[in-house]
C-alpha cells in the first residue's frame, strides 16, 4: 500500500542524489533512511555501522546466504 507524504525540498534533493549513488528508487532511498532511523531510535546503543551490518545480514538471510555461527 502506498501513501502520499509531504517532505521538504531539501530532503527530496538529498534523496535524489543518494538514490543515484546507491542505485535505489527515490522512494526506496527515503524508506531506507526511515528504516535506519527507526532502528537507531529503538536501539540507541547501536552505531550506524552496526545497524548497517544488521541490515546486510538480514538481506543475506533473505537470499539464502546463511551458515551457522561458530563461537571461539
CA 14 centroid distance within chain: 15
**Rounded to whole angstroms, how far apart are CA atoms 72 and 68?**
13
Looking at per-residue pLDDT, the higher value among 64 and 50 belongs to 50
pTM: 0.75
Which has the higher per-residue pLDDT, 30 or 64?
Answer: 30
Amino acid at each position: 500500500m502506498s501513501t502520499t507524504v509531504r517532505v521538504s525540498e531539501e530532503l527530496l534533493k538529498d534523496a535524489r542524489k543518494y538514490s543515484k549513488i546507491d542505485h535505489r528508487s527515490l522512494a526506496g532511498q527515503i524508506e531506507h533512511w526511515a528504516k535506519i532511523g527507526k532502528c537507531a531510535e529503538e536501539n540507541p546503543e547501536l552505531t550506524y555501522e552496526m545497524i548497517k551490518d544488521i541490515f546486510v545480514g538480514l538481506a543475506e538471510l533473505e537470499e539464502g546466504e546463511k551458515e551457522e555461527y561458530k563461537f571461539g
